[in-house]
Amino acid sequence: MKKESRILNLQRFLPYRLTKLSGVISRSLADRYSSQFNLTIQEWRILAILGENPGLTAREVGLLSSLDKVNVSRATEKLEKAGRIFRKVVAEDRRAFSLHLTEEGQDVLDRIIPLASGYEDLLLEGFSQDEIEVLDKFLNRLDKRADELIAHLKEQS
């Protein structure tokens, strides 16, 4: 019996398209701040997350940033050595540390935010407000569905 073969049209395969788009956007934005602020993409994400949610643990940062433990560990170590974040022992679990921006870390974040916002504005230029809202709703639905699939796959294993 001959096995039916399918051709995967990569240019229309949603996971590939999202990954490619994310990479292009992240690298393009990183080009704007990496040399000016000496930050990697991972470090920028961590600063942004801690700016919005101070006091998270490295594990929590990893979940929000979609970075693995190794990348979070390396990036937080570099940010700490650069004086941009500091750690505090979590009272309930003396083995865990919460992460916080230093004054310098907040200053860097404050200077990057307008660059990131300006880049987003350029990226969405030509889209109506209604289209931007629809895009946001679709992305939220995809996020939720991906989380559901991950949970389902974990249950099966």
pLDDT digits (tens, 9 = 90+) for 65-115: 989 999 999 999 999 999 999 999 887 767 789 999 999 999 999 999 999
Beta bridge partners of 54: none
Q: Which two tokens stand for residue 99?
A: 């992460």
Q: How many C-beta neighbours within 10 Å does residue 76 have?
A: 23
E strand intervals along the chain? 56-57, 85-90, 93-101
pLDDT for res 32: 82
Give the whole-angstrom CA distance, residue 79 versus residue 97: 15
Q: What is the domain extent for residue 57?
A: 11-111
Cβ partners under 8 Å of residue 38, min gap 6:
82
Q: With pLDDT > 90 as the criterion, what percentage of the chain qualifies?
A: 74
Give the whole-angstrom CA distance, residue 53 versus residue 11: 36
Average pLDDT of the chain to the nearest whole number: 92
In a domain, 32, yes or no: yes
| Average pLDDT score over residue span 13-42 | 90
36 and 103 inside one domain: yes
Number of domains in the chain: 2
pTM (global) more than 0.75: yes
**How confident is residue 6, by pLDDT bands cut at 50, 70 and 90?**
confident
In a domain, 48, yes or no: yes
